[in-house]
């Protein structure tokens, strides 16, 4: 990333942060704050949905594993689930969006484990992530499909789906973005997201 590119991304993130309480994402941000408070974490510790995305009107959910440091506000990050963060995961996703033409306004990003967690503790958080995901899905009435990006995202979705409540949602699995270099598998997963977003 060039300096100019990093500066451009910083301006985009600042604008997203300013608009984080827009009506289409406000219920998701309130949910994130409730999850954080339930774990004794400050607001922003569970990153907020990007207002450039579809919010509660999203038709496809892109589910990653857990927040990286560039997404957690009290860790010095943006506090946003945005592909405009300046990290390898976001860079790979930006490439996939460019290659597939996914309209961000049709999508929402989330994490299977929504709060910061040590890598060694992820397995123990899957069950809790599944409970949170089920609550999130209740906020997304127009959702048509889900793309899981990473092993723990898949595990969280499998537990959530096992209730039988969400079997109508289309699903595709892809690699975590930083595990997909040069990104062929990630692009294929994003192509499925485009298909899901177009479903009637």
Do residues 117 and 156 lie in contact, with contact meaning Cβ atoms separated by under 8 Å? no
Q: Which residue has the tokens 């994490």?
A: 111
Q: What whole-number distance in Å separates Cα of residue 63 and Cα of residue 154?
A: 8
Q: What percent of the chain has pLDDT over 70?
A: 96
pLDDT, tens digit, 9 for 90 and up, residues 156-184: 999 999 999 999 999 999 999 988 667 89
Question: Which residues on adjacent β-strands are paired with residue 111?
Answer: 64
Residue 115 confidence (pLDDT) = 96
Q: What whole-number distance in Å separates Cα of residue 118 and Cα of residue 116?
A: 7
Residue 9 in this model has a pLDDT that exceeds 90:
yes
Do the strands 60-64 and 170-174 form a parallel or antiparallel pair, or are they unpaired? unpaired
* DSSP class of 86: S
Q: What whole-number distance in Å separates Cα of residue 191 and Cα of residue 99?
A: 9
pLDDT, tens digit, 9 for 90 and up, residues 71-101: 887 667 899 999 999 999 999 999 999 999 9
SS3 content of the chain, % helix, strand, coil (to 5): 50, 10, 40
Residue 11 confidence (pLDDT) = 95
Q: Does the domain formed by 3-197 have CATH 3.40.190.10?
A: no
Give residue 1's pLDDT band: very low, low, confident or very high (50, 70, 90): very low
Question: Which residues on adjacent β-strands are paired with residue 173?
Answer: 148
Residue 10 in this model has a pLDDT that exceeds 90:
yes
pTM of the model: 0.94
């Amino acid at each position: 990333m060039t300096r100019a590119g990093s500066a451009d991304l910083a301006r985009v993130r600042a604008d997203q942060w300013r608009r984080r309480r827009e009506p289409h994402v406000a219920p998701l941000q309130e949910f994130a704050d409730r999850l954080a408070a339930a774990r004794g974490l400050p607001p922003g510790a569970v990153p907020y949905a990007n207002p450039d995305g579809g919010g509660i009107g999203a038709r496809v959910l892109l589910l990653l594993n857990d927040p990286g440091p560039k997404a957690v506000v009290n860790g010095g990050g943006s506090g946003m689930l945005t592909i405009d963060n300046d990290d390898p995961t976001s860079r790979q996703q930006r490439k996939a969006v460019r290659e597939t033409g996914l309209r961000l306004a049709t999508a929402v990003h989330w994490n299977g484990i929504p709060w910061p967690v040590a890598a060694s503790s992820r397995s123990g958080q899957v069950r809790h992530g599944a409970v949170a995901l089920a609550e999130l899905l209740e906020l997304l009435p127009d959702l048509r499909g889900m793309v899981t990006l990473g092993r723990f995202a898949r595990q969280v979705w499998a537990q959530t789906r096992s209730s039988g409540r969400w079997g109508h949602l289309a699903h595709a699995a892809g690699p975590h973005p930083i595990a997909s270099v040069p990104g062929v598998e990630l692009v294929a997963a994003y192509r499925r997201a485009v298909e899901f977003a177009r479903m009637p």
